[in-house]
Structure 1
Amino acid sequence: MNDLERESRKVEETIAKRIRSLRLEQNWTLEKLAEVTGLSKSYLSQIENHEKIPTISTLTKIAYALGENVQSFWNTEEDGKEKSKLTIVRAGERRSILHPGAASGYSYESVTYKKPDRLMDAYIVTLDSEVSKGPLMHEGQELVFMLEGRKEFIYDGQSHIVEAGDCLYFESDRPHQGRSLDGRPARFLAVFLNPRRLDEFGG
């Protein structure tokens, strides 16, 4: 196991513990969380016991249900201790959340984890697999800016081909999924807006 795999494993364990902790803080049963998120009780139990690695879309559903920012699942106590008007995440400081192959061929690098009171969550995403599980649905809005490669994006049953330089902006509560094309990975910036956080900060 290399350093990246060890770090990813550590983050995944932190996510599992954090979800359980937040659920118990609200005195929610697994049944309650399943009802609110639309996910099965057994699947949520597997996530909390680190038997299943959820996608970012699934984590977003859980976070919004619990009234949390999705990146609070893996932030440490040292992250964002002081609320700042400006934070900078250098290229070498990106935090790997899910390693390649962990969730439908996607890997995620967080670029906004340093700001605790953020309204948006942003990631550099690499789509290695030509097959994407889905479709995905969650609250909020999403922006995708293509950095490298080509991708088929299926939104609400309609197919769209996008490539480097193209930008997508859409409501996330409609079925959506994607797959890389040409046998090459696709890289893109994905930005998620959490409407519950927007309400919390008076947006």
Structure 2
Amino acid sequence: MDIAYYLATTLKRLRQQRGWSLSRLANETGVSKAMLGQIERHESSPTVATLWKIATGLNVPFSVFIVPEHHDPRPVYDPQQQAMVITPLFPFDKALRFDHLSITLAPGAFSESTPHEKGVIEHVVVINGILDLCIAGQWQTVSANHGVRFAGDQTHAYRNSTAETVLFHSLIHYAQTP
């Protein structure tokens, strides 16, 4: 499966289902109209941070863009060989309203996530290494076999300040939509 192509077609389908122009999508997501057009035309792959903005603006789970229903094996999202790699362990579950992602951060990697929609709760559990986690401007260190639960509807960031790759899981619970 070509994840970038799937992402492009999914973005276009979701935008068209809503009857939105690229301009409206840009306003809702905070991603430029030019970048959104390039993604839809499969000319560019968004960074993880950009894809989070798009998912949040469309009010859809992150994994919707990288995992077709009933697809196996699990895809890996590594845009342009970036320092953050995301592998869905359990793609979005409609009944339970969660994504469960495995995330690796290369040494020195940093990724900031824009606030998710209101009511989202995120659980981060470090499997290997030491993760720096910033929630609402406050940095904390999370070591292996420890976790943090926080409201995902605020800015948060992940940083690997060590020389070793960090592996952590992110379980994201999405609020019920009216």
When normalised by structure 2's length, the TM-score is 0.83
* Residues 124-163 of structure 1: pairs in structure 2 closer than 5 A: 124-134=102-112, 136-139=114-117, 140-163=120-143
Q: Secondary structure at the match of 2:153?
A: coil
The answer (yes or no) to whether the contact 2:92–2:99 under 8 Å persists in 1 is: no
Number of residue pairs matched?
A: 176
1:14 CA displacement:
0.5
Aligned to 2:5: 13
Among 87, 96, 112, which residue is 2:75 paired with? Answer: 96
Kindly, what percent of the aligned residue pairs are identical? 26
Q: Secondary structure at the match of 2:3?
A: helix
Change (3 A) 1:101 1:177: farther
Gaps of 5+ in 1: 1-6, 81-92
| 1:182 to 1:100, Cα distance in 2 relative to 1, 3 A | farther
Note the alpha carbon deviations across 1:124-149, whole angstroms, 9 max, x for none.
Answer: 11111413143533222211001000
Kindly provide the CA deviation profile for residues 173-193 of structure 1, in whole angstroms up to 9, marking residues without a partner as x: 222112113200100110112
Distance 1:180 1:67, change over 3 A: closer
Between the aligned partners of 1:194 and 1:166, the Cα distance in structure 2 is: 22
Deviation at 1:154?
A: 1.8
1:50 aligned partner: 42
SS in 2 for 1:188: strand
The CA distance in 2 between the partners of 1:32 and 1:111, in whole Å, is: 32
Confirm or deny that 1:72 pairs with 2:64: yes
Inter-partner Cα distance in structure 1 for 2:174 and 2:59:
9
Unaligned runs of 5+ in 2: none
Per-residue CA deviation, residues 24-52 of structure 1 (Å, 9 max, x unaligned), is 12211011111112222122222223333
- Is 1:180 paired with 2:160? yes
